Amino acid sequence: MPVCKEMAIDLQKTQPFNYVLLQAISELLQKGSVFEDGIKLPPHRISSVLRYHLQATEYKMMLAVEPTFKLPLSQPVSVSVLVGRKDSNKVACIIHKAMFDYIDRSSYRAMAFDAIDISPMYRFLPNIRGWISLLFMEGGDECEIDVFGIQMDFNDVANSKDEVLWLLDMLDWK
């Protein structure tokens, strides 16, 4: 089964783009940071609810963001996620311009989702959602969130690393 070579995440505000955000994520991915099952050393300033979520047993692909970044909530933010194959030069879109329109302050997550593009070879599959969440710290003001991590999952259908790799293999690679 092919393994993903690289992943690109693009977060954009509808107003003039805040390059600090994209630069922080790009630097993490260029340094070889990868989505892992959980965040091994979460910051001290996270809520007990989010700490419990991070320690839960279901498989979650997470990326720690260091340094953290602040994101104003006054402007809509969209996200796109592309993934590249290790065995070819093909790429696939997992999430395309999904809006972080659900901010759950009780679980300290801003969430967005999109139906992933499955290859036409698998027409029998229903719409499968790819979820991406910005994990943010407790405290701060109501106007912005302090993001320390990014989570991506396909909990509707893939709850283990093998299931996620199987699902990624079924994407519409171009």
pLDDT of the residue at 113: 93
pLDDT at 128 over 70: yes
pLDDT of the residue at 129: 92
Q: Is 150 a domain residue?
A: yes
Least confident of 20-29, 50-59, 79-88, 152-161: 20-29
pTM above 0.75, yes or no: yes
Structural domain boundaries enclosing 87:
4-169
Counted domains in the chain: 1
- Locate all alpha helices (DSSP H) within 37-160, ordered by sequence: 48-55
pLDDT at 117 over 80: yes
Q: Is 28 a domain residue?
A: yes
Confidence of residue 142 (pLDDT cuts 50, 70, 90): confident
pLDDT at 140 over 60: yes
Residues in a beta bridge with 23: none
Q: Is 156 a domain residue?
A: yes
The 10s digit of each residue's pLDDT in 73-114 is: 887 888 888 888 878 888 888 888 888 888 898 899 999 999
pLDDT of the residue at 21: 46
Residues 6+ apart with CB under 8 A from 173: 85, 88, 90, 91, 92, 119
The 10s digit of each residue's pLDDT in 10-34 is: 565 554 434 444 444 555 555 555 5
Eight-state DSSP code of residue 133: E
Q: Is 174 a domain residue?
A: no
Q: Is 42 a domain residue?
A: yes
Q: Distance (Å, rounded) from C-alpha 80 to C-alpha 78? A: 7
